Structure formats: structure tokens, C-alpha cells
Structure 1
């Protein structure tokens, strides 16, 4: 509604980090930056803020001779397109401003070409109650709306396609300051309720009485002699408005991406639903992980070193890495690549011939859910099948049931792919860092297909509560996870 949209605008002004949630309904207002609008088109587009020093904004923020953090232009690959410094700093700054204007003009082109039918441009003389100087129309607005000639500027007529709706004169003083004073004067608001013709004691007293006696409103209407048809019509309008407020919102459409998850996604969801949310549902940027890179390199090396049925092409997906294999935990050193390779060469798997390497699979569940993954190695001896997953991270505690989820999915995949009896399947984690192997019979695994379905239903129900564990210390999202920060703080305060 218009009211909630205006409330969102007010909240966005108060909180610069407010997340921009785009309504999915086609007949709704989409609020986004120009960069977010690239590639999109809409019938009607509003571009506000075309004022001086706002849009275009030609402030120079990337002067390599004024900021040490900036890469010198002469060693950049795009140096041919950048201003060159020729011993006069003032000329160089002017060149930087010209380049900044070029960038703003490109951005302006993107903004103005998003509209299919109508484009509304606006600017204001004053922005913010703290400003002491007015802004006024910016260069882009003036070029379209036209501007009067001056001694320094020859001016220009309005663009033929532009209709100038309003052009109010510039107030000498900032009017937003008066608005702020009016708001302050009206605080705290008065709770006094004025009586009217129907509710002579005020609407609050009438509400209290109606809760005690539901027929009291009808009695007051009859006693006041109010026109009945007019009353019923007004009551119907209010009822419709209340229905809009109280009716539950329709369920959000199912995101088809979330109906197909990798094994790594499933383990992450079981470990911490909130980390899964920030990784898969609403992905946020993540730091480059040395641990994940090491895990990928080792898996690839083992695949190449092994003998058997190898794939000639690269895997379509990275290996199934658990959350504890992806994050770089502060203060914890990683094993060397050489030590992990040596652990594999010293193991019983080095001389074995695997039947399958990096075996891809997709498990189809009810309601169209899919679980996809890759089994690192499959060894067959007689009628016994061993599914092996190589781990480069820390070995979890023995009572960690979630650690067995990945093995349970592999066992289920083997049953589906090769029609194996669970009694003939065993699944193994080989922890290269310690050289330990942990083997479990498929029949002893507690996770079932129903558990996987329940996890997908959890995703559809949007249940993503954080579950603090040891992985919080290496989580990329710890900075804004209250539960995770509290857990880490408690862990660090405990005596070692």
C-alpha cells in the first residue's frame, strides 16, 4: 500500500543498511538503485534526486596521488582510458572531474532508459534539514528541462519530449528545518480523544463498552438517530480495510532454486539454518577460503592420481565440502598440501582400484525435491561396496550425528543408482589430516529419506534460526549474527 511504502522510505532514511526487499507482485512499487535496475524495464519509472552534487555527483574520490589505497593509473590495465598526470595537480583534478562526469552520464543513461512508457524526473532545492545551502537542478535535469542563459552558460531549450510539470521558486531558507521543529513541538503526542456525535465519551470508551456489551454500538446508533444506510455503507468500508490488514498474506511463491540442493547445502542446513540462508537463500559475499581451496585441490589431485574409471572433464560441481572444511578458523593453521598427499599415499586406498571416481548422482524425493552430489570414490570387493569421502578438515566428535548425514545421503544414492541392499554398503570418512578412517555400515545410519523431506519442508517454511556451534568461529557471517557472536564470546571466556 502507499502507506507502507512511505513508512519504508522513512525507515530507509533512518537506516542506511536497510535491506531492499523487492515485492514479487507485478503491480507493485520496486525500489532499487540504478545499478540494480540494469537490464530491467518498467512501464513507469521515477528517477528522483537529479540535483547538484547528488546526481550527477562529480566529487573525485579516486585520486591515486592523494590516496595511498588507490592503484597508480599508469600501471592499471585500463590506463589508456584514464587521465594522465602531467606535473600540474589542478589540471589533473579537472581531468578526474571530467571522467567522473562521464561515468555519471553513463549511469544516467541507464536510469533514463529503464522506462517503456513514462519517465518522471525530479529534483529539489533542499535536501536534509542540516544543509545550509540549496541544491537546485543538476546538470542532467537542466539539460532535459531547459535552462535560462547566463553570462557563463548559454542555456538550452527544453527537450521536445519533456513536459515540465512544476518549477517552484527556490526558498531562501531550508524549509525542512521548520518541518523538523514542527515535529519536535508535537512530541510527545496527546492521547486526548475528542468526542463526536455518536461516541460522546470518545471512541476509546465506546470500544471498552463494546467489549463488555457487543450490542452497545447498535444501541448508540439508534439513540443518535444516525442515517442507517449511510452508517452501513461506512461500516462496510471500514470492514474492507480491516480485512486487508487482518487477512494473512498469501504464501510466498516457492523458489525453484531451493527445490534442488547439493549435499553440502544439506549438511550446512543441518549445521546452521541461518548460515544456509545467507549462503543459498539470500547469498551474501564470502571471503576467499584457503581451507576450501585446499580441499578442492586435494580432491582433484586424488582423482587424477587414482586409477579406475576417471572423468576426462572437470566435475560440474565442486566436491561435497562440509561447513567445517570451508571456513578459515582464526588462529588455526591449515595442514600442508604435501602432508595431506602423503596421508593418502600411506593409506589403504592408494593401491586400490576404485570402480568409480567422483561419481555424480541426483536423488529424487517426493514433491519434486532433488539432492545432488558426488561420491569421491567407490570401491567394490566381492558383494561389498565401500563409499569413501576424503576430508581435509578437522575430525568431528564421535557423538556428532550431523556428520553422518553426508554418508547417509551417499548410501541412499548407492541404493538408488545401483539397486544395492543396504546390508552390502558401508560408508567411510577418511580424515587426511589425522590419517584416521571412520567406517559405518549403511544399516546403522539413522538419517532417512523422510528426514531429507523434512529439511526441504523446513526451507519452504522459512525456518532459518541460527544454531551456534564450533563452526561459528570461521563463519563469514559472524559479524552480524548475534547468536554466533554470543557463542564465540562465551567460548573465548571459558578457561582453557
Structure 2
């Protein structure tokens, strides 16, 4: 915020405070919870959940210009009041919530202290500091008023309380201010916006004589036809009764419009109806697909509609944000991450094995499970003969049978069971993949994600898939990598396990991890109503307008959530439910009024959805969802629209009355084979093509026919054109920021060839895995086994990963023998696989040193090399020396570094490694 940059020092706020991302902010909150000395006896959630509550309360306090002392005093008084009231369960629950709020308030103080210590600032801080600044320094206000002679505030209904306080403090007192907004479209209360701002604008910004500012109603709608507006007016009637300044809308132009409503028996029927109606519009009525939008209350309703549209050949795209984990390639990547961290995570292993890459069928999965159970029996524990005490002890010490039946054991040693053709080979392939990936678990998280994506071929699969879906899935994977990089930056010591815990917490809290795919042109748009605000489409579909879905019936207030501040303390309290008391009758009435208040925002959401349409709208509902045992039926919104239709303003496409006592969808469920079988014909063709590629033969061009030669010539021309385009000087130069987190390999690439480094950042390209790299990985593992000491941050290897089976080829055996006959075999290392994470010029540099040995003069850092002698880059050793120097404070002259080439055992000790000053200078920028 510019005002703090320019004047923050007046209140002790440094101008160089670093704004933080939400990921970093969440990490700091989590750190606060972990390090607190408070007992937190009333906050009975997980640390991550408490961190989420802490962030919400910090926001709430900042939004309403409150300090923790005011909140704590009110809360303590309320607890006293409860103690004087006749005991009831609802009051005991309120007391528990209040006690938790007191603890959260103390955590907020610690969180804010930590932000000051770390010299960082978040958006909540910016707003409260800015408000404090303008209140204490009128000269700053004068300067801002002189700078901005007039102020126009657009979408004013979406401003927060503290934003309004800041604006009135600066631009009140009859400064020229105009606000434009619609209280009926105030749909962001859940993230801090207050509709009271626009309702009270005229008194918040009075004229020179202190009389209210002038108000100009805008009742003409130049988007939608009158028939659509009649329905919007019907839904918004209760809202207009509250916001008396708003009148019914009238069409500003004579656009013809139509409204269609429908009620189906099941959700599947509704999805089919929507897809067929869209198909008819596109194929028969020649409506352009991009003219159609499907807007839903919740994102989860969109996926089945999208899938069915694609099956019917209708181009469709997710516009706005989408849940990242819904994308199959993201789920696959996360499954690999879980297995890297925890080899015992059976669900992830099953997901990968049953997926399209390995296609292990149920019979072979069952055999693998049987093998895992048989391996457990080797421990000779008979469950039926164990006492309770024995079972408990075995659970605690990790020897319980249930913990030992791990599919990874069977994957490592599948035994001689009746597996299908080629199944054991696929088991071995996955086993080797996981072993290779696990060797890199201490790398930066974003590097690990990138490695998984490329090593497993997921990126290639996407690029070869349906063009309509490829771009969205590609962007989902790139968003996952960006998320991992943000997590790296926000949690400098963050590891795979912490990242997975964060994702699990988000899932537990029903907080989706979203990404925004690029919308495909010439396609039907699918998005949430929140995402559609401000947009317009000729034709709009609004599905699932059902009871408990739209409006939803979840009401949560400060009475039950300690992270929310009581309404009476909020600046906009006059617009909120009134009359809170602890007596039974008043308490129940208050909760009911809170429920009614929450419904108003749902009604605003319906109004926004209706007014996105220009010429035609389809609103539909159903009686039965796919899994519900309780009937849904049309919500009051759809029934209100039906009243308007029956007055001649629209038509009913279908209206099925429910005659079922039980959910017919549940009755229709039939057993299906899992995992789902792939298209056998397509699979055979893929195998055939793969065989052709793998066994391609060189052909004498003189033996080709004229038509075959012509085909090859055209392909060559296309390749030449692409090469020319890519190497052309006309290509636009793009500035690429150096990432905040680097590993040693990337740092060397940056120093040696900045252009290639930048290109790799913009468009990462996979590298071909080679046997040499595989041997190197296996040799490093064998070194650890030889010295009998694990790496400081060792990975969790699969059971049996250290078996000799892992090390199979002759060259690898030569390496081992050469090492055993060398001087190094009898030395005792100070550390193996020593990880480091250091700050360099505001960036984080991470890496891992293979081995550290003591010398007569100090320390020697060793990097084992299994490649060609002399092909290693001395910069690697320079950075290793820099890292050891910085983390141990050992004088540089006492630190040497060397490459040891195996199997020749030749040693390369560069004597002119770059100094720390030169290294730092080389990566600045």
C-alpha cells in the first residue's frame, strides 16, 4: 500500500516491510500455534485448524478496528453473564466457544509479535496501520486530498468496514466522492465485505452542511430482457424491503427474452436435461457455444455437466477457478508424493497401480494384497492368541500386524503368485520409479513435483490428450508446481510431509485448493455464481436450485465459531441481527434471526445469477441427489420463479412430482468392476504404436515410393519452419524473475547460461532418464549402507530397498569394488547427504553434500561422481564450500572440496574456487 510506503515511518512502520503471500501467512500462524506457551485447553482442534482460526480472527479484528483487549473484555463479561444464567446445553456450548475465543485472542497477539520480528506485513496489517496513520497525522490526509481532487468508488457494495473507515477518514468532510454499487449484489460478506457501507454512504460522506449526500437511483437494466427482470425482481423483493433505496428493475432496451424452469426426479435426470438443452441450442438453433454459461452455487455441480457435454461433443470449459485436486493428473502426482513420504500409504499405491499407466486389474491387486498379508504372517503372530495388553504394546512399538501389512512390501517382493502377463514387470517398474524419486525427497518441493511430472510421463500424456482438456490439465499441473514453490518460499524448511498435511487440512476443512485455467474460446463456460459476477452471457443455465443446496442451510455465527467476533463489537452492528440475550426465548429468536440474515446473502446470489443473462435463462432443480436418503425438492427460489411463470412470464420445460419414498438413484445402483477398465481397442493401439516407436528401423530412402517421400518432405518442412520460428530474432524477449528458491543445479545453470535458465523457467522441458543417473543414485544409497549411518534428512525407503537386487548391473559392481579398495572405504565421515538451506541475496539456496570428512587442517566436502572424469562443474564445489562456511562459521581456508570419480577413484580438488563475494554477485538480479 503506497500510503504506508510514503508515510509509514510516522507511526514506526518501516517502508521495506515485505508483503507476504497467504501461504507464508498461514505458515507463520502455524508456527505461532506450535511455539506458543499457552495451554490452549479450550481450542480442541488440530494445530493447523487452530492456525486457520487464528488468521480469521486476526482479519476480523483488523476489519473492525478492534484490539484484542476489547474483544477479551467483552468475552470475559459474557462468560460471567452465562455463569449467572440457569445452566443449559446451548449456553455451555457458548461458554466453550467464548473460552476458546479468549485463547485465540492471545494467539493473535503472539502472531502479530512474530510478524514484527520477521519484518513482514500482511493485508490486514496494511489496512489497520494505514487507518492509524491517517488518524494521527492530518497533514497526510491533506496531502492525499490535494493529490486526488475527486474520488470514484466502483462496486462499493463489496468494500469492507476498514476500507470504508479509511476512505471516510481521508475523503470525508465534503470532499468530492461518488460511489456506484448495488446492495442486491453484495455477495462477498463471507470475505469481509459489508453491505452497510453502500446503505449508509450518504451519511458516511455528508455534504458541506452535514446534510446527507445526494442519491441517484439507477433502475434501468441495459443487459437483460424484461421477462428475465420480472423473475429477478420477484426473487429480490425481500431484499428491496431491507434496502429501501432500491427499486424494481426495468429493461432499458426492448430485448426479447425467455425464462425456462424445470423440476426433475433425480440429479442425473437434471444433468441429462441440461446437456440435451445445450446440445439442441448449439446443433439445431445454431447458438455459438461461447454464448452459453452454466452458473452453479457450488463448483461440484459443474463437473458432471462438463463431462456430459464433452461426451455429447459440445465444447465446454471451466471459466473462473476450479478445485485443483479434481484434476486426475494432480491426484496422480500427489499419490507419488505421499508414497515418497510414506511407503505404507496403501491408498496412493492402489491408485497408481489401478490407473491408466499401470492398469493392474482387481485380480492382481487382490493377489498383491494377499502377498502383503502373507509377508506379515512371517512374524508368526496369531491375532486370535494375543492378549489386549500384547496388542496394545505391539501397536505402540510399531509391530502390530495391521501396521505391517503394507502393499509396498509386496511390491518389493511380489512372490510367485498367479499374476497376469507382464504384471510383475509393471510392479518392478513402479518400485524402481519410487526408489529413484525417494532419493530426491530433500530437494525443494517444487523440484520434487517437477521431477514426478516428468519422470512419470504425466506431462507427455497431457500433451497427447484431447486438445479440449489438455490445456486445463496442463495448467493444473503448473499451478500445483507454483503452489509447491510458494510453499517452499513460505516455509523455508517445509518438506513433503508438511505440504501433504496442509493439503489434507484443506480437504478436512472443505477449503478447496483452486487454480484458474485459461478459458477455451468457442466453448460453453462453466463457473460458480461468485466467479460470474460482473460478467454477462446471452444464455444462462442455473442448476440444482434445491432445498439445502441453493440456498444452502449452513448457518455459522460467532455463537459457535470462536474465530468470529460478536456482532455487538462490529462497526456495522446496526445492520446485523440484534437482541442477543442469554435467556432461552431471546437466545432462540436471536439464532433464528442469524439464520434469516445468512439467507439474505444466498438470495443476493440468486439475484446475481439471474441478472447475468441477456436473452434466455434456464433454472432447474431435482428431488433426489445421487447419494441422499433425504428428499431435496425445489427450493423457495424456484417456487417463486414458478409463480412468475404461471403469470405468463416464461415456461415450464418439465415438472416432475415426486412419488418416491426412497431415492430411486440408490435403488438403481449396480455393482461395477473397479478399477474401471480402459478402452481395450485404444489400449491395444497404444501398445502397437509404442512397439513401432521402440523398434523403429532405418529405411533406405531410395526404396520409398513417391508418395512416401512427399510425406517425409512435408514433415521436414514443418520441422524447419518450427526451428526457424523458435530461433528467430523476432521473438519477443521476456524478462523472467529469478525464483526465490534455488538449488545448486539451478544456480549453476543461471551462472553458466542465463538465457537457457530463463527458458527452462518459462517452459520446463523434460530430460531423458539415463542408466548413468540410475547407477549414481544406487551407488549413493550403497555408500550410506556401507558407512552404516543414514543421511541427516534421509528418505523413507521401501522395505527391502537396500537389498542387493537393487544393484544389478556390472558397472555398478565395479564402482562398489573400486570404492572398497580405496582410501575412502576406511574413513569415517562427519556427515552423509548433509542438507543445507541458506539465504543468499534474499533467496533461499538448498542442496545436499554427499559426504563430509575431517582433514588435518579442517574439513573436506566430497561429491561422488559416477560420470565421465573431468566433466563436473567446479561451481558445484564452490557453492558447497560457501554453504558449509555460512552454516558452520568455519574459516574458508579450512574448507576444501573435491570430486571423487568412481570407479577410477580419481580425485579432483580445484584450488581456485570462487569466493563468496563473487558467487553472490553472480546471482544478483
User: TM-score if structure 1 supplies the norm length?
Assistant: 0.39
Greater share of helix:
2
- If asked which structure has higher relative contact order (CA below 8 Å, sep 6+), I would say 2
